[in-house]
Structures are given as C-alpha cells and as structure tokens.
Amino acid sequence: MTPEHLIISGPEDILGYIPHSLGYWPSQSLVAMTMQGKRLGATLRVDLPERGGRRSREAFARTVAEYLLADKEADGSLLVFFTDGDVIDGGNSDAGHSDAGHNGAGDNGAGREGTAALSLRPLLADLECALGLAGMPVRDAWRVGDEYWRNLYCTDSSCCPMPGRSVAEIRDSRLNAEMVYLGSSVGAPPGATSLCNANTTPADDAAVMAAEREWILALAGKGTQRAQFDAVLDAWAAALAAAPPDAVLPEAVLPEAAPGRGGQRAPGPRAAGPEKGLEPQLAGFLRASLHVPAWRDAVLVMAAAGRAAAASGAEAFGIFSAGTGLPVSCPLLPEPRLSLSGLPSPAPDGGVASSAPGTDSVPGAEQAPGTGLSGDHPYQGMATGRPDQVPASSGGPDALPGYGEVLLGLSPSVPDWDTLKRLEGLMAELSSFGGGQAQAAALTATGWIEWCRGRGSFAHASLTRALKASPGYRLAELLSEVVRRGTICGWAGRREAAWQKFGSDAA
C-alpha cells in the first residue's frame, strides 16, 4: 500500500518524513528538499563537508544547487542539518543565518558540544546564495541533533526554547505515525548491516557452495555459446518470476526508536528470494553464472530493459562464436510465482520467450517522493555534469537500448523498477551464501540498483563490500568511481523515470 497524498502540518512532519524517504536516520548530513509551491519535490542527502575555507563551502553549495536543478518545477527549498551532538548554549544572536549554538569562527565551542561541531552560519549563508541564484530560495532551515532540533531562523524563545525541541516530537509526529501505518520503516544506515540469510541453514549454505563449484566446471568454455547464454537468462528469468514482490527485507528499526536517538533495533536483516529460498542447485548455478562478466551484465540489462535488450546488446558486443558443440547446462527451473511486467514468460516448448524491452511497469511501491532526484549522495567534490542533462538514446523510439545506455540509466525511458527490486532480493540472497567473485558480483549488482534509485550512500556501502569480497573487482571499482564523483543515474535525474518510494504525490 502506498500513500497518494500526505499532508504536512508542521516542521515535525517534514523532519519525520526525511528518514522514511531516505530509509534511515542521517548523521552529519545536509538534507535539501525542493518545494513546488506548497508541495515537496526532490529530496537530496549529502555528507556535511569537513572544515574548510570559503571556496570549499561555496563549491559545496553550488554542487547542492546543481543537483536540485533536476527538479524543473522547483521554486523554493528547505534545508535540514543533521549533526552529531546538541547545542546547549543560550545565545541566539545568529538568528537568520546560523544555529543557536553561535559557534562560528573564533569560538572555541566551550560549553556547547563535547566535540567541536561544524559552524553552520557561513555554510547556510553560502547555500542561501547558491540556491537563491538557482531560483530555489531557502524557505526554512533546521538543525537536528542527537536529542534536540531547532529552527535556524527562529528568535522567539517561546516557540524555540534552548537548547531546542525534543527529537521525540519528530518520532511522535502525525506524518511519521501515518507512514508507519502505511508500512514504511526506518532502517539501519548504509553499511551497518551484515550479510545473512535467515531462510537457510549451514548445511544449505554448504550445498549451494558445492553446487556453485560443480556448475563452474560445467559452464567452463561455454561463455561464447548463444544457446548457453539463453539458458542462463532462462534461469535468471525463472528465478525472478518465482520471487515474491517484497524481495528484500532490510534490518528494521522500530519507528519510535531510530538509531542514534535512544532507540533499539528490531530483529534483522533477512535476505529473501522465493518463500523458502532458492533451491541449492539453482542458487549454485546463478552464482556460477555471475563469474562470467557478459552474463552478469546481461542479467542487469534484462531486469531493467527486458530480454530483447539483453540479447541484442550481447550480439552487438560480439560475444558469441560458432560454438564448440558443448552441451547446454541448466538446472531445473522453478515455476513462476505470478506474471510479471517486463519479465520473460514461459514458452510452450518449456523455454522462455523473449519480452519487449521497456515494457510497461509499475515504478511505484518503494520509491522516493514524486521527484526527479531521489536519495542521497556522499559529497566528494563537484558533479561531473548537470543531472538533468541526460544524453538521448541512440536510434529511434523502437530501437533496443545498448548495454551502456541501460547501465548509465539513459534508456529505456523508464526501467522496470518492480523487476529490479526482485533482482535486488535474489542478489541479496546469493551474496549471503559465500564470498569470492560471485559475492562481489551480487553486491555490485545491488550497488548498481541503489545507484539507479539515487541512493548513493547505500550504493557506496554495497560496492565497498564487493571490493572486500574480491579486491580489484573491475565493475565495482568503476561504479565506485561514478558514485564518488557524485554522478547521478539518468533515471534518478528525471521525475518521470525516478524510483519513487511513496508514490507520485507523497506530500
């Protein structure tokens, strides 16, 4: 169930909405949101910059403005600074441009915070300037600490008492309660969870690893056979069709107790494929297939753009040869759970029929609020390009997209978000069985899906794990550099294509 329209009645609702939008409670972060009249638009999270001079602050502010320019209809912005610690100083002489801590340049911060905090006054001023020039003037700004939150522009002690208002007001807000009722939860921060699979036993894990070794031997020398390529995609399509719609069950955090805010975590995480997990032979086969980069890439393209695009792109790369007459290897495939948009359907001969690329999908169940820019980005410098400047796909409207266009989110016009979510669930399960190249490939695929959603921090965490599983894994290295540069996926940069956690009209 997804909300069609959520009403915001006060700042507590706005602040309570952010952790649900991002999926976790941010720390040492700036969250910037665009406004379209009285309606919320794009949501962006970036790491707060380290202490630096005026030029670094101005560069940071310009980058934030450039990201938010992806929202063409924005006419204003809101800023929220999530910081570690709380300001306890009673002065408010910085009203209008800084937090109540008044710990700017030349202030040693004594009696305010246990560790010196980033001064918000000059940073807020630079953001006001950059966003104002971009046509998105700052309408309001807040600072949220560990225990207190405060409006940065408020000078009235009757409504903005020192040290601020309790963070409990955010957790208890009406909108937060409504989001929880609608099934939304706030999870652990990126990288805070470990890989596990609650559906399997150590014996199951051993069976999967043994099957993987057997399938690696069986698939040896068949990487250029078209028939084997088709069999690999048959297996992935069948596994995706058999997967439940809510394929990923992340570690949950009780809504009234967010991490770092005096709360406790609920049990988790759990990665889930089909209801009882993948059969060991199928799981071993899928992990073995991930050892072949061309097959791995074809799986990603098929999930986002359809079977025909995956096959056409492989042909264009010239990966197929005449073959050596080796028999095709494939495990027993599961029955499809239900008919899925964008996925191949079983053909009468027992194989899998191709589906058209970019078929109508339902990009809605788990998506960020009606934005063309969703999620978060670890700030590492200037963006490589404007997020709204997306190159057009080559060829006509009926042309099949190439691998590069799909992997960069440039084509199709809207990916199959439902199938990508199912793929994420399968990759989460496969990555939990063991290490090595198969785990690195599965984690890299998960990182790519998160990057496509615009969730840079989650992408970074998954790609970091991939490189730990297999140091030097090439695709993980390339995607890590893309994320580090702050490049936005083409789909995440366009409203009509972006992943939307709460539907198209959330607030």
pTM of the complete model? 0.73
The alpha carbon of 271 is separated from its chain's Cα centroid by a whole number of angstroms, namely 16
How confident is the model at residue 97, as a pLDDT? 30
* Long-range contacts of the stretch 47-51 (C-beta < 8 A, 24+): 47/378, 47/379, 48/81, 48/83, 48/118, 48/123, 49/118, 49/123, 49/379, 51/118
How confident is the model at residue 193, as a pLDDT? 62
How confident is the model at residue 74, as a pLDDT? 93
How confident is the model at residue 308, as a pLDDT? 96
Q: Mean pLDDT of residues grouped by 10 in the chain (507 residues)?
A: 62 89 90 91 88 88 91 93 66 32 33 44 95 96 92 82 84 81 78 62 90 96 94 96 65 34 36 63 98 97 96 92 82 72 40 28 29 44 34 54 94 95 95 95 97 92 96 97 89 85 48
C-alpha dihedral sign at 123, 129, 135, 140: positive
How confident is the model at residue 368, as a pLDDT? 36
The alpha carbon of 80 is separated from its chain's Cα centroid by a whole number of angstroms, namely 20
The alpha carbon of 4 is separated from its chain's Cα centroid by a whole number of angstroms, namely 22
Strands 248-249 and 29-36: unpaired
Domains and CATH numbers, the chain: 11-107+116-184 (3.40.140.10), 202-484 (no CATH)
How confident is the model at residue 271, as a pLDDT? 39
How confident is the model at residue 169, as a pLDDT? 86
